[in-house]
Structure 1
Amino acid sequence: MIDLLFAGVALVLLLAAGYWVRGRGGHRPTGTWAMAALLVSFACAFGSYVSVVENAVESVVPDGGRLLSNSFTLTAATSVLAFMLQLDQEPDEARRNIRRRVLFLGISVTAMTVLFTASQLNDDSPQLYALYVLIYVTYLSVTAKDFGTQTWKQAGHSRRKSQRVGLRITSVGCVFALLYAAYKVFGLVSIGLELDLLPHGVRCSTPISPVRCVFSVTAPAVAVLLVTVGLTLPAVVWPFSQFLRRRWESRSFAALAPLWKDITDTTPEVVLGPAGSQHVDDSDFHLHRRVIEINDGVLALRPHRSVRVQESAERAVAARGLTGTQEGDAIVEAAILRAAVHAKTTGSEPRTGSEPRTGSEPRTGSEPRTGNELRTGAAPAPSRTASRAGNLRAETEWLLLVAQAYTQHETTPTTDPLAPSGTDPRT
């Protein structure tokens, strides 16, 4: 089972590395090669724990699997630092610091190799092995602490949700790495003081048995998996989120077609010029155009917005218990637009919500003296218009509600209920 865990982790890491280095239209994100080195190094480290690989290495160099695994782990730690430096610093400064870190890595691995060899030649000297572990744990702990702090801090400034979640997962992975480092320090103290608290030669049969395997096997495995998932999550989620965005844009574009057609047929002057060839497959561009043309058409129809139709629609919405909701507001707006389109097409005028006067009511000298008269006016724009300004998604979602009500005829009649039949209300 433990071999399956190590082999599985190594395979996942190699797949993640392949995803990072694959071509992306000729462009690779900053830190791509550092991330690939990190993932491959961790994959090699865990691969070296698989029994077949470990036995093959140790048949040549006794206990050589430990040195190999630790060296790959430090290489991965250096790659983490290189990735962080490329994101936080200017290119020239980052290259200088990365070269310095690589130099430290070479010194550390060389020192570990010397101490490992000397320990082998001196009958597994506990003091020499303690120095070996000290170098390894110090390098790993400093890296995990710095990287964990940095990722947690950057998570608070990230605008994309996938980045915030990924960075926080990475930070949790660093905590598990520090837990593993603490276990190694405990072992270091045990070796240095010859307390023999951690017996040698005891292999882990499962990730939790014996108990020390929780710290020596499970903790580093979980740390690597969390760091890998956290750093890879934004890169994996991004294309999926883009696919969902484009699908929503295409569906929204189609859903707005009936409303857009009626408005632009009535006010053709709002239709923008033809799109260039570079925007043929740009769903965001086409949706943006459609939203702009609908809104421009709504503005052009403003003189034909009937207060009477608005009041009638509001009463219907109130009867359904939708007053004050976006759905109710959309039904009212759809009724007004349908009536405005009809009024614009037939040449009629909108009417206010005032009741017709009887012959006994006084009139002012400025008002015309017709028998069944009403003051003319236009219904106001829908509420929350200002809050949607500049927000394509919010404006599209609002227009989708209006378009749904418009096509389902959840509105009042298109004609003004007080307009005289067969006559032009403007006369």
Structure 2
Amino acid sequence: MTQLSPPFVVIAVVLLIGLTQRIYAMLSDRRDPLRRAVCVILAGLLLATVAQLFSDPVDRATGVVHFGATLSDAGAMIAACAGRLFLVHVDRARPEVGNRGLRCYASLAAALAAAAALFLLFPPQPGQRAPVYVAVYIAYIANVLIPAWRLGVRYSRRTGRPFLRVGLRVIAAGGAAGLAFLLCQTVLLVTGLLDPAVTASIDAVTSGLELVTETLLLIGVTIPLWGPMLVDAVHWPADYRSYRRLRPLWLALQEAGPEFRLLPADAAAARSRWPRDIGLLLYRQVIEIRDGQLALRPYVERRVTDEALQAARRAGLPPAEAGAAVEAAAIVSGIAAKADGRVATEPAGPGRGAHEDGLAAETAWLRSVARAFARSPIVAAAARNAAAPV
């Protein structure tokens, strides 16, 4: 691999950021073995990537040929051990993990000891791409990647969490790419012992597979964390626009019936121009607006909705806009009547029910009601009639 190769530099930076975040998350729940395993996976991959990036300076500083690459391989083996533990925790109940976990640690210690012994007995030569100790590295990593591929495919079909499903499939793809990389390493090892000149023709393919493997494994391990955050970031602008457009209607209903707040009043969040958790605030708005509408129905006279509907038809409004104008007129009339303590003598009907297609459709409907509430002349007329003396 070319020293300070930009793709591997990017991977190293992403690994460092991910490891920092995962350590912070692990400190909040140190009993979670899966979080610990992910931390060790990221730490091992970070060591492997950084040691490979700076392998030449490490070799010059230590005076040992191939020492930087050896540290990189050791980091990969540590990450593989943690990955194996991760799979054990996913595949087995917690009481069954103990002995298997000890076997994972024992096999890692034996593999590292065997690799060190071969490194000392058969020291790498300058320019040698795959020294003898790499045989241990290949065997150990393959022993992890094969079940990683198998379990990734199996559990991706069972989980109901979309980002975990994608992550497992990406891990399976990374395992397949890693096995292809190990195959190339095996070819390099065999041909290097016979004729070192042959290795140059396979070196580029090996480096490419190494990059693909690290990238896929990194994405697969971390996508359950950043996937939902990415979706939230994509949806944020649209949710924010909906939040701002529903806000006048929501505030009017809050003043009319503050007892329907789902959460305690939070002036800072309510007045914030750039709310952080916009999804929660929008969901809260929709629920509280619907609760406020239902609470006002006993104060809404049937004649108000009938007059609003007739006015909407005379104006030639499409059915959806007409329905929104009627609902907004009912809200304006109900707020005024509730404030005066006037219960309807002939209450209007229940109005439009909740949309069956979920929050997005309900939000779109309430945005049209909020637009009519703020701008419709039909609603303005209903407000004037409600304010007129009886």
Q: Which category describes the TM-score, using the shorter chain as reference length?
A: 0.7 to 0.9
Give the 3 Å change call, closer, same or farther, for CA 32–381 of structure 1 in structure 2: same
Shift of residue 159, structure 1, vs aligned partner = 5.0
Given that 2:304 and 2:382 are in contact with CA atoms closer than 8 Å, whether structure 1 keeps it comes out as: no
Shift of residue 138, structure 1, vs aligned partner = 2.9
Residue number in structure 2 paired with 1:271: 259
Shift of residue 175, structure 1, vs aligned partner = 2.9
Shift of residue 81, structure 1, vs aligned partner = 1.4
Letter in 2 for 1:56: R
Letter in 1 for 2:115: M
Aligned pair 1:179/2:149, yes or no? no
Letter in 2 for 1:333: E
- The 3-state SS of whatever aligns with 1:199 is helix
Which shows bigger deviation, 180-189 or 78-87?
Answer: 180-189
Residue number in structure 1 paired with 2:39: 36
Give the 3 Å change call, closer, same or farther, for CA 156–404 of structure 1 in structure 2: farther
Given that 2:74 and 2:112 are in contact with CA atoms closer than 8 Å, whether structure 1 keeps it comes out as: yes
Residue number in structure 2 paired with 1:219: 209
Which shows bigger deviation, 150-159 or 13-22?
Answer: 150-159
Distance 2:145 2:176 in 1: 8
Please show how residues 34-183 of structure 1 align to structure 2 within 5 Å.
34-49=37-52, 50-56=54-60, 59-60=63-64, 62-120=65-123, 132-158=133-159, 161-183=162-184
Residue number in structure 1 paired with 2:274: none
Aligned pair 1:290/2:288, yes or no? yes
- The 3-state SS of whatever aligns with 1:378 is coil
Distance 1:52 1:129 in 2: 16
Distance 1:276 1:380 in 2: 28
Give the 3 Å change call, closer, same or farther, for CA 178–24 of structure 1 in structure 2: closer
Residue number in structure 2 paired with 1:14: 16
Letter in 2 for 1:330: A
Shift of residue 303, structure 1, vs aligned partner = 5.2
Residue number in structure 1 paired with 2:198: 199
Distance 2:9 2:304 in 1: 72
Aligned positions, number: 370
- The 3-state SS of whatever aligns with 1:385 is coil
Distance 2:164 2:73 in 1: 29
Residue number in structure 2 paired with 1:337: 331
Residue number in structure 1 paired with 2:374: 407
Which shows bigger deviation, 254-263 or 290-299?
Answer: 254-263
Give the 3 Å change call, closer, same or farther, for CA 387–78 of structure 1 in structure 2: same
Aligned pair 1:378/2:348, yes or no? yes
Shift of residue 379, structure 1, vs aligned partner = 4.4
Letter in 2 for 1:76: A
Given that 2:300 and 2:347 are in contact with CA atoms closer than 8 Å, whether structure 1 keeps it comes out as: no
Letter in 2 for 1:89: R
Residue number in structure 2 paired with 1:234: 224
Letter in 1 for 2:327: E
Give the 3 Å change call, closer, same or farther, for CA 287–86 of structure 1 in structure 2: farther
Letter in 2 for 1:378: A
Letter in 2 for 1:136: Y
Distance 1:274 1:172 in 2: 44
Distance 1:231 1:306 in 2: 58
C-alpha deviations, 1:260-305, integer Å up to 9, x for none? 4555666x5x834896699996974864773354133244346546
Distance 1:305 1:30 in 2: 64
Gaps of 5+ in 2: 271-276
Distance 1:339 1:278 in 2: 28
Shift of residue 100, structure 1, vs aligned partner = 0.9
TM-score by length of 2: 0.72
Residue number in structure 2 paired with 1:369: none
Give the 3 Å change call, closer, same or farther, for CA 234–198 of structure 1 in structure 2: farther
Give the 3 Å change call, closer, same or farther, for CA 139–243 of structure 1 in structure 2: same
Give the 3 Å change call, closer, same or farther, for CA 381–74 of structure 1 in structure 2: same
- The 3-state SS of whatever aligns with 1:84 is helix
Which shows bigger deviation, 135-144 or 331-340?
Answer: 331-340
Gaps of 5+ in 1: 203-210, 351-375
Letter in 2 for 1:271: E
Percent identical among aligned pairs is: 20
Higher relative helix content: 2
Shift of residue 33, structure 1, vs aligned partner = 2.5
RMSD (CA atoms) = 4.6
C-alpha deviations, 1:65-115, integer Å up to 9, x for none? 444332222111111112233344333433332221111112222223333
Distance 1:66 1:27 in 2: 34
Given that 1:304 and 1:343 are in contact with CA atoms closer than 8 Å, whether structure 2 keeps it comes out as: no
Given that 1:342 and 1:414 are in contact with CA atoms closer than 8 Å, whether structure 2 keeps it comes out as: no
- The 3-state SS of whatever aligns with 1:387 is coil
Shift of residue 328, structure 1, vs aligned partner = 5.5
Given that 2:296 and 2:334 are in contact with CA atoms closer than 8 Å, whether structure 1 keeps it comes out as: no
C-alpha deviations, 1:112-133, integer Å up to 9, x for none? 3333333349x99x9x966x44
Which shows bigger deviation, 248-257 or 393-402?
Answer: 248-257
Distance 1:140 1:218 in 2: 18
